Amino acid sequence: MCITVKQMMQIEENGHQMGFLRKFMMENAGAATAKRLVEKFGDVKSKRVLVFGGLGNNGGDGLVIARHLAGYGSSVTVFLLGKPNNIRSEECSWNWNLLEKMESIKLLTDGNLEHLNNLDKFDIIVDGILGTGISGEIREPHASAITFISKSNAFKVAVDVPSGLNPDTGETNQACVKADMTVTFHRMKVGMPKRTDVCGEIYVEKIGIPLEAEIGVL
């Protein structure tokens, strides 16, 4: 069963109010995505991974994925789409603070795409730029980051929603990540099934939200 962004946000809020905090949802979302990548590649040890992280919770998921893949032995670089003190959510900044304590992960901040020119090739790119919180025309540096991803021949995995896809309408009237695989959380979003051209292979992952959080929503 597919759901709308509004329904997802209501379910998320219900779960959070019940005590299953967003922070737990984010951890489970990131862990499930990392697991899917390990399954896909058999082994991600020494794979070069570039994680693009937005400043919202889609970015937060990306930061969780970065931490998990480093644990599996990948060589991980995180590109934050802005300055750390502009991170908008408590869950995302909590995960950023964790990564700042990890020598094993290379952090690039302030959204300066020049940083990427002199980096060697990547095997995997994680699109944690925009998810269900996308609104309006894509601004910079998000648009250039999406273009960078599109030009890369790395394996591309979209977190929750390919950045640039409207999860409700399926429209991509702007730059959009063309992913090889999308890992979406809790339930499929209504605009995705008809857009496998940008989602690639879609995996729906449960992230531990109590099923009672759907009461009154679905």
Binding residues for (6S)-NADPHX: 57-61, 131-137, 160
| Rounded Cα distance, 102 and 13, in Å | 31
Minimum CB distance to ligand NAX, residue 164 (Å): 9
Of 187, 146, 139, 188, the closest CA to residue 52 belongs to 146
Minimum CB distance to ligand NAX, residue 207 (Å): 6
Q: Which of 88, 115, 152, 204 binds ligand NAX (CB under 6 A)?
A: 88
- Number of residues located near ligand NAX, criterion CB under 6 A: 32
Contact 125, 154 (CB under 8 A): yes
- Per rule CB under 6 A, is residue 56 in the interface with ligand NAX? yes
Residues 6+ positions from 153 with CB-CB distance below 8 Å = none
Taking the least distance from each CB to K ion, the nearer of 108 and 165 is 165
Site for K ion in 142-171 (CB under 5 A): 158-159, 163
Taking the least distance from each CB to ligand NAX, the nearer of 142 and 195 is 142
Minimum CB distance to ligand NAX, residue 172 (Å): 12
Q: Which residues bind ligand NAX (CB under 6 A)?
A: 8, 12, 25-26, 29, 54-61, 88-89, 130-139, 142, 159-161, 185-186, 207
